[in-house]
């Protein structure tokens, strides 16, 4: 049942009431992920990929202090034009943004929270946050990981963002009991690349297999999310040496300029885009669309099971 403080679109409300498949989508990709108008074009394209694969898209944000599940095209355009002037919000920011009537673009963590409150169990994104490089000094660990540990939503992504410390991110997820699945792969995808040399917990080869795992987990009362990692299609992947070089340069520049905290990820991703001549952004768009397709298929299977 949807929480009474959440506003849902007519299409999302009807789908949830009828037990039809719904896929949550974040809004940080609109406001902070890429420039206007490409951000709006991408958001609408991702929604269409969800529809084309049998589910109802529910792009999530806070609009005028109201948690909103299922943005209209006009609301997506509004967030796209405001861009970086929209506050990027995680769990800690939600109460303040709601109480003061502001707009907020949801990260993975806050999208999971609002999806859960609305009764949506599948969420598609590009990549999750994780343990940042040098976290042993900075203690910089994304709230996305803790949300995965406690909120009952399956997150379909292309892995953790390439700017992160991937081995430590996997260790954190293991410690908190979050299953990391590889869709058609035993290897953890590397966001821009289909592999990293790191192993996932379990390989899954069909949306139905994922849906059954989710039904077993939540039906047995095992709280928390599941990370479904979906490799970027080979035709859109980037060479690992090229992306690694761009990431290392971006990290060095961030340290030299004192960029840290919640500003670090947007800075690093933007700099990687510049260093790759825009190729990384093109890959990012394709992998998000690919994740939306898989998420829709999983949501359809969950609806079939009545889970």
Q: What is the DSSP string of 188-199?
A: PP-SSSS--SPB
**Residue 85 CB-density burial (10 A; 0-12 exposed, 13-18 middle, 19+ buried):** exposed
Question: Where are the extended beta strands (E) located within 72-145?
Answer: 87-89, 104-106, 122-124
The DSSP bridge partners found for residue 154 are 122, 226
Question: How many other C-beta atoms can be found within 10 angstroms of the C-beta atom of residue 17?
Answer: 12
Dist. CA 139–CA 61, nearest whole Å: 28
Residue among 236, 301, 294, 280 nearest 46 (CA) = 294
CA–CA gap between residue 4 and residue 181 (Å, rounded): 33
161 flagged as catalytic:
yes
17 is catalytic: no
Let me know: does 184 contact 233? Beta carbons within 8 Å: no
In the chain, beta strands by DSSP E: 7-8, 22-25, 56-63, 66-69, 87-89, 104-106, 122-124, 154-157, 180-183, 202-204, 226-229
Q: Peptide bond before 182: cis, by omega within 30 degrees of 0?
A: no
- Selecting among 47, 88, 161, 217, the annotated active-site residue is 161
Contact (Cβ atoms closer than 8 angstroms) between residue 148 and residue 127: no
Burial of residue 5, with CB atoms counted within 10 A of its CB: 0-12 exposed, 13-18 middle, 19 or more buried:
exposed
Residues with a catalytic annotation lie at 26, 161
């Amino acid at each position: 049942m949807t929480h009474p403080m959440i506003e849902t679109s007519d299409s999302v409300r009807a789908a949830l009431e009828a037990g039809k498949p719904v896929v949550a989508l974040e809004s940080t990709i609109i406001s902070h992920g890429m420039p206007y108008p490409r951000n709006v074009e991408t958001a609408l394209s991702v929604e269409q990929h969800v529809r084309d694969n049998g589910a109802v898209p529910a792009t999530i944000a806070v609009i005028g202090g109201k948690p909103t599940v299922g943005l209209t095209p006009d609301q997506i355009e509004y967030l796209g034009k405001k861009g970086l002037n929209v506050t990027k919000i995680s769990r800690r920011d939600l109460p303040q943004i709601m109480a003061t009537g502001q707009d907020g673009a949801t990260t993975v963590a806050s999208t999971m929270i609002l999806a859960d409150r609305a009764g949506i169990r599948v969420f598609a994104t590009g990549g999750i946050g994780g343990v940042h490089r040098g976290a042993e000094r900075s203690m910089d660990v994304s709230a996305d990981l803790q949300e995965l540990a406690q909120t009952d939503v399956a997150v379909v992504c292309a892995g953790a963002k390439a700017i992160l410390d991937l081995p430590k991110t996997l260790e954190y997820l293991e410690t908190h009991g979050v299953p990391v699945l590889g869709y058609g792969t035993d290897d953890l995808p590397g966001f821009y690349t289909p592999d990293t040399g790191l192993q996932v917990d379990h390989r899954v080869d069909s949306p139905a297999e994922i849906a059954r795992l989710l039904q077993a987990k939540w039906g047995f009362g095992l709280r928390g999310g599941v990370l479904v990692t979906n490799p970027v299609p080979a035709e859109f992947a980037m060479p690992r040496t090229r992306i690694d070089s761009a990431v290392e340069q971006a990290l060095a520049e961030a340290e030299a300029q004192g960029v840290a905290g919640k500003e670090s990820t947007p800075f690093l991703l933007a700099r990687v885009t510049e260093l790759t001549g825009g190729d990384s952004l093109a890959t990012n768009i394709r992998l998000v669309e690919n994740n939306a397709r898989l998420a829709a298929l999983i949501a359809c299977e969950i609806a079939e099971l009545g889970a």
